[in-house]
């Protein structure tokens, strides 16, 4: 079954009052903290500009930086694998896991593995995946889809999380309190022996430093760090857009990311790892570099700005649409405003679901205001809407919308045609109105009057008044 359009996927989410209340609470809290952190950083605008410039610079010579990265990783004893798309990435990772003979992997901090559908692929290969991030674990236990980029369980409240843990964690018992500390402790106990048992770990990475071949990961729980140190084999998977040229660039991002994602000045755990070190940590290290449409986005003059994204989720937290729908209607890849552009940029707008994403925004601009790397998301949305319309122009029979928009433009293209149409329209609209309001419009406009009235047009337009009184 094809994925539904955004509007259809949003409907059940809008009806889920509990999830809406939880999301509203979570985004409002984060929004407040982020705003305070930005306001408390004197050179915030300079930092944003630096982030934008580094991002653009990195993308400009992406191929050179990637080659440098591969060289550095290899020199440090790691192996680099290139994956053109999700299927190839799945194949590479399952192959690597199989080669170790492990039946279980621990996994942490990776939206990229979600993007390629790794869990299912490993399950099909007979390998059990254990999520180690508390929120991911909750999503896995609840058997639902993540709703937020950084806190995938933002739609769940503490009572629900406690219930899921009570059921899943042996020994957590019915007495498990639903305060955050008790929940985190229960999750940690649950995870501890898994870490000690695990022979293979799969992680993501926030940044890939080209000059040194170093991967950098920011997290608040410390669970990902366990994955980086305890297992024998470490497989890290990251999009090719995560490359930054030099270590110095991290100075900027290590300030921007925590402030924009959680409103903290620093991230509790910043881990960096480079290849393998004899006698310490994993004995084998694999880096899987994923394209999956990123070079396609890179080729788009306007759209490539979206590849600067550092996945802080600030845009989601201020987005009034996201606040009401959560992340799931945006599809399986990236939620929120950035997802509404990245998904169609990397996958194209051929499917109805992907083509609906650029319209999942009122273009209010709140996202662009907060983005730490200054991505003008509304600009990219409008650009992509243009692509959607262009792709529809080739159809032999125009859609009703296309016919309407073309007709409107033709009418408005000439003042006389326009005036005549206005006169006709006013007469017609007044016939539909009752007591000064229109409660039901026909055709495509009917969506407006499902829950809103339209004022009936007064008998005289401004033009008419002007001609009568001033001309």
Partner 1 sequence: MRVALSVACFEDVLFPGTAKAVTVLLERLGHEVAFPPGQTCCGQFHWTAGYHREAAGLARSHAAAFEGCEVVVAPSASCAATVRADYPKIARAARDPGLARAAEGLAFYELTEFLVDVLGVTDVGAYFPHRVTYHPSCRSLRTLGVGDRPVRLLRSVRGLDLVELPSAGECCGFGGAFAMKNADVSVAMVADKVRHVRDTGAEVVCAVDDSCLAHIGGALSRLRGGVRTMHLAEILAETGPA
List residues near ligand SF4 by CB under 6 A.
260, 309-315, 338, 370-373, 375
How far is the C-alpha of 262 from the C-alpha of 344, rounded, in Å?
27
> Out of ligand SF4, partner 1, none, which partner does residue 371 contact, by CB within 5 to 8 A per kind?
ligand SF4
* Residue 356 C-beta: closest distance to partner 1, Å: 8
Q: Which of 95, 386, 398, 400 binds partner 1 (CB under 8 A)?
A: 386
Q: Which of residues 293-312 bind partner 1 (CB under 8 A)?
A: none
How far is the C-alpha of 131 from the C-alpha of 141, rounded, in Å?
10
* Residue 150 C-beta: closest distance to partner 1, Å: 22
What are the residues facing 83 on neighbouring strands?
290
Side-chain half-sphere exposure of 140, counting CA atoms within 13 A = 19
Which among 7-15, 54-62, 159-167, 199-207 is the span making contact with partner 1, rule CB under 8 A?
7-15
Among 188, 311, 319, CA closest to 257: 311
* Residue 319 C-beta: closest distance to partner 1, Å: 9
> Out of ligand SF4, partner 1, none, which partner does residue 311 contact, by CB within 5 to 8 A per kind?
ligand SF4
> Out of partner 1, ligand SF4, none, which partner does residue 76 contact, by CB within 5 to 8 A per kind?
none
Q: Which of 71, 166, 199, 463 binds partner 1 (CB under 8 A)?
A: 463
* Residue 330 C-beta: closest distance to ligand SF4, Å: 12
Q: Which of 4, 142, 245, 457 binds partner 1 (CB under 8 A)?
A: 457
- The position carrying tokens 């950098």 is 216
* Residue 250 C-beta: closest distance to ligand SF4, Å: 16
> Out of partner 1, ligand SF4, none, which partner does residue 338 contact, by CB within 5 to 8 A per kind?
ligand SF4
How far is the C-alpha of 340 from the C-alpha of 357, rounded, in Å?
5
* Residue 395 C-beta: closest distance to partner 1, Å: 14
* Residue 149 C-beta: closest distance to ligand SF4, Å: 7
Q: Which of 73, 366, 373, 380 binds partner 1 (CB under 8 A)?
A: 366
List of residues 6+ apart from 428 with CB closer than 8 A: none
- Choose between 10 and 69: whose C-beta lies nearer to partner 1: 10
> Out of ligand SF4, partner 1, none, which partner does residue 310 contact, by CB within 5 to 8 A per kind?
ligand SF4
How far is the C-alpha of 447 from the C-alpha of 400, rounded, in Å?
14
> Out of ligand SF4, partner 1, none, which partner does residue 313 contact, by CB within 5 to 8 A per kind?
ligand SF4
How far is the C-alpha of 23 from the C-alpha of 324, rounded, in Å?
8
* Residue 332 C-beta: closest distance to partner 1, Å: 20
Residue 30 touching partner 1 (CB under 8 A): no
- Choose between 171 and 415: whose C-beta lies nearer to partner 1: 415
Q: Which of residues 404-433 bind partner 1 (CB under 8 A)?
A: 405-406, 408-409, 412-415, 418, 422, 425-426
List of residues 6+ apart from 252 with CB closer than 8 A: 47, 50, 51, 54
Among 111, 205, 107, CA closest to 152: 111
Residue 324 touching partner 1 (CB under 8 A): yes
- Choose between 209 and 321: whose C-beta lies nearer to partner 1: 321
Q: Which of 358, 371, 372, 380 binds partner 1 (CB under 8 A)?
A: 358
Residue 43 touching partner 1 (CB under 8 A): no
What is the contact surface with partner 1 in residues (CB under 8 A)? 6-7, 10-11, 14, 320-321, 324-325, 356, 358-366, 368-369, 379, 382-390, 405-406, 408-409, 412-415, 418, 422, 425-426, 437, 439, 444-445, 447-448, 450-455, 457-458, 460-466, 470
């Amino acid at each position: 079954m094809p994925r539904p359009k955004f509007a259809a996927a949003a409907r059940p989410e809008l009806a889920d009052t509990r999830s809406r209340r939880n999301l509203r609470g979570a985004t409002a809290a984060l929004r407040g903290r982020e705003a305070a952190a930005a306001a408390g950083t004197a050179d915030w605008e300079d930092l944003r500009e630096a982030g934008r410039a580094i991002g653009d610079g990195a993308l400009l010579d992406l191929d050179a930086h990637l080659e440098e990265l591969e060289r550095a990783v290899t020199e440090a004893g790691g192996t680099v694998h290139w994956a053109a798309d999700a299927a190839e990435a799945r194949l590479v990772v399952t192959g690597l896991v199989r080669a170790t003979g492990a039946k279980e992997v621990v996994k942490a901090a990776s939206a990229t593995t979600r993007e390629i559908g790794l869990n299912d692929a490993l399950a099909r290969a007979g390998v059990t995946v254990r999520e180690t991030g508390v929120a991911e674990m909750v999503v896995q236990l609840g058997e639902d889809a993540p709703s937020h980029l950084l806190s995938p369980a933002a739609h769940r409240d503490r009572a629900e999380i406690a219930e899921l843990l009570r059921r899943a964690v042996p020994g957590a018992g019915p007495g498990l309190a639903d305060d955050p500390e008790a929940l985190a402790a229960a999750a940690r106990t649950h995870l501890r022996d898994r870490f000690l048992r695990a022979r293979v770990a799969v992680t993501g990475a926030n940044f890939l430093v080209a000059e040194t071949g170093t991967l950098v990961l920011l997290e608040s729980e410390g669970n990902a760090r366990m994955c980086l140190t305890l297992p024998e084999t470490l497989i890290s998977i990251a999009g090719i857009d995560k490359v930054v040229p030099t270590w110095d660039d991290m100075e900027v991002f290590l300030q921007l990311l925590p402030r924009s994602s959680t409103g903290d000045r620093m991230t509790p755990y910043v881990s960096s790892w480079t290849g393998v070190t004899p006698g310490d940590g994993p004995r084998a290290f694999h880096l899987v570099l994923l394209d999956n449409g990123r070079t396609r986005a890179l080729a788009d003059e306007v759209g490539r700005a979206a590849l600067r994204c550092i996945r802080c989720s600030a845009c989601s937290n201020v987005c009034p649409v996201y606040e009401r729908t959560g992340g799931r209607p945006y599809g399986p890849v990236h939620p929120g405003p950035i997802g509404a552009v990245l998904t169609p940029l990397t996958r194209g707008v051929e499917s109805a679901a992907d083509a609906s994403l650029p319209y999942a925004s009122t273009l209010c601009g709140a996202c662009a205001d907060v983005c730490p790397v200054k991505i003008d998301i509304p600009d990219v949305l409008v650009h992509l809407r243009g692509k959607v319309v262009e792709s529809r122009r080739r159809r032999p029979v125009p859609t009703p919308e296309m016919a309407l928009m073309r007709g409107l433009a033709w009418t408005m293209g000439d003042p006389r045609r326009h005036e005549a149409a206005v006169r006709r329209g006013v007469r017609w609209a007044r016939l539909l109105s009752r007591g000064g309001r229109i409660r039901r419009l026909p055709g495509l406009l009917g969506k407006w009057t499902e829950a809103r009235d339209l004022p009936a047009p007064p008998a005289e337009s401004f033009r008419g008044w002007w001609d009568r009184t001033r001309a």
